[in-house]
Chain A
Amino acid sequence: MSETTKAIPMASETSMAARFKRYGIWIVATIILLVAPYIFSSGASITTMCLMGIMIVFALSYNMLLGQTGMLSFGHAVYYGLAAFATAHMMNWVIKTGAPIPLPLIPLAGAAAGLFFGIVFGAVSTKRGGTAFAMISLGLGELVYSSSLILRSFFGGEEGISADRTKLLRFFGYNFGSQIQVYYLIAAWCLLCVILMYAITRTPLGRMCNAVRENPERVEFVGYNPQFVRFIAFALGGLFAGVAGSLAAINIELAQASFVGAAQSGAVLLAAYMGGVAFFVGPILGAIIVTLLSIKLSDFSEIWVLYFGILFITIILFAPYGLSGLLMMHAQFWRGPLSSRIARFGKLFGSYLVAAIPALIMILGAILLIEMIHHIVQKSAEGPMMHFLRSSRFTVNTHTALPWVGGIVALIGGFFAFRMTWPVVAKAWNNALADAQRSGA
């Protein structure tokens, strides 16, 4: 676990190097956020990055509960969604009254709403940990979602509540009409929230959250009330989820019932798990990848949700610590002189490449079969011809044997070839480990 490998903090370090180590990562993050729209400058990319920024905040807020404190919530979207509605109403109120509040400050209203509902619902649900907590979170999620369909004046029914973000007081001349301006608003809030949530992990409460996750009973015998630890963590998680929901409402100028729904709660759970809940960066990676996949996969296939599900199951089965866990497993090879590190990683990744080729063939075979089955079952009216992954250049006739045989051969042959590469990877792994230990000694 990341928390366990921290060096013993000796008397406060003040050297330049130590300072850079502490703040350098945030400087780098700021620069990345600033230049990203120049590198990925298309409108679609900027829209995607806005969604990523929102999801990063949301997934990290979720991990305050799950990864840090050991609370599995199935209803985290409640705080995200209610804050989105609070934001939309707040914007409309500001527009109506002409209150001198510029758009960049509006997420504070979302934070307040998230915190408020985090406190109210947290008081109910954090009394118990484990399964009881998970069930209560599910129930609260359903409760709020069904209320959203009943209380039409607050939730706006099917249409939701819309709000024109350009009608607020101008902020240094910006009216946030263009997506790039919204990007920088989201990026700034994202960075602020990430820094704050990281800082919280390094406080007495943050440490006790981990202790509650590990052994809530023992916590009681060192003077802490584990229920209260959970409660504060939950309320703070609600606050940051509220910021995320608020940014989402600003981003699309709309808050909808789906924001509080189970699908939204599920999405954040997927993002956190895929990225890995054991490391602080995990949910950040997960948020980026889930956002990217849910946009890109749908370009390729109608049944992208199926592939998404298979990917999720694969990660849970073979990388229980998520993508960040996979990355962190490689940290142990990062020692010794730079040239030897590069050589070591070169050999290791070479072996990955050897394994990746048959794996890719296997996956393509599987996708071909799935797509053909889908075509025959769902779209037989369109005739036998199918565009593979929506590519007009690569069409297959589902009524001939060749693509079926090809798919099966690729799937099974690819699998066995892939299996044969496992010892190669294992050997490369062991070599890298031995090599790293030699150069570490």
Chain B
Amino acid sequence: MNSAVELKDLKKNFGKTEIIRGVSLDVKSGERHAVIGPNGAGKSTLFNLISGRFLPSSGAIHLRGENITGLRPFEINRRGLSRSFQVTNIFPRLSVWENVRCAVLWSKGYKYSFWQNIDRLEDVRARTAEILDQINMTARAQTPAGVLTYAEQRALEIGITIAGGADIILLDEPTAGMSRSETEHAVALIRKVSEGRTLIIIEHDMGVVFDLADRISVLVYGQILATDEPVKIKSNQKVQEAYLGAAGHD
């Protein structure tokens, strides 16, 4: 199988502290891959490296075989990788509709057009409406994103991430802070939108992880302890000690 995202001995330090300490990982195309690990292990930092938000200190990142190390986030996004943020990262004074539409535009090829009336772009309108429907926010379309409830903002965060139709999706704790039923809906949505795509998800809810993931990587203190299928991770002695069995996770 082809690899979607491949990390080659990736390292990242902030000043003197090494946060990512040599991570190598091969996420296959079409796989749903979960990254778990205690708080502060470097999971979000790993996403920041893959998506181009941070430059790695050393090592390389390949996207479908292409070396994308050092590319800017928008260049990586245009190659079909989209990510969400653990700390909600939206356009607060724009409406929900506008938030999602901004994330649709590039994928529909409109680029920096200042000669086309946006209200006449039927494909953009249809795609935006479809995403709003998927995240159950159609009724909130005209609400400024900044005044949404926390759970609604989390749903919008997912909506913005998937709106461009990227085929590699990175979700950073998408269900954190959601209620039981909201989580269920979000997981169903994630399952649906990642159908036939590659998904990398950071998640603390083990129910969600074991339900969704084809493979799991356990990141502890900036290193991958194990990468394997869920059943094998569950029974992995090292993982048991370092993470699952211990009080480490929340």
Contacts and interface: CB of A to CB of B under 8 A. Distances in A.
Interface of A: 1, 3-9, 11-12, 199-200, 202-208, 210-211, 214-215, 217-225, 228-229, 232, 236
Contact of A221 (B51, B111, B119, B129): B51
A169 B69 CA distance: 60
A204 B116 contact: yes
A205 B113 contact: yes
B164 interface: yes
Given A3-B98, A225-B74, A232 B105 contact: no
Given A208-B105, A219-B102, A202 B117 contact: yes
Most A C-beta atoms less than 10 A away, residue of B73, B107, B129: B73
Contact of A1 (B116, B121, B141, B144): B144
B78 A200 contact: no
Contacts of A236: 114
A205 B164 contact: no
B94 A225 contact: no
Contacts of B150: none
B74 A224 contact: yes
Contacts of A5: 95, 142
B28 to A, nearest CB: 23
Contact of B98 (A207, A219, A228): A207
Contacts of A12: 119-120
15 contacts: A5-B142, A12-B120, A203-B114, A206-B114, A211-B94, A221-B53, A221-B74, A221-B77, A221-B83, A222-B74, A222-B160, A222-B163, A223-B77, A224-B106, A232-B112
Contacts, number: 123
Nearest to A8: B141
A214 B146 CA distance: 11
Nearest to A200: B114
B97 A8 contact: yes
Most B C-beta atoms less than 10 A away, residue of A6, A7, A221, A228: A221
Nearest to B107: A223
B232 interface: no
Given A218-B90, A225-B74, A4 B125 contact: no
Contact of A4 (B94, B105, B121): B94
B114 A207 contact: no
A208 B77 contact: no
A222 B112 contact: no
Contacts of A222: 74, 77, 82, 102-103, 105-106, 160, 163-164
B94 A210 contact: yes
B249 interface: no
A210 B117 contact: no
A243 B209 CA distance: 59
Interface in B97-138: 97-98, 101-103, 105-107, 110-122, 125, 129
Contacts of B112: 204-205, 208, 224, 228-229, 232
Contact of A207 (B92, B101, B142, B164): B101
Contacts of A3: 94-95, 98
A9 B164 contact: no
B74 A4 contact: no
A22 B95 CA distance: 21
Given A205-B114, A221-B73, A236-B114, 15 more contacts: A1-B93, A1-B94, A4-B142, A12-B119, A199-B117, A202-B118, A204-B113, A204-B114, A204-B116, A221-B53, A222-B82, A222-B160, A223-B164, A224-B112, A228-B112
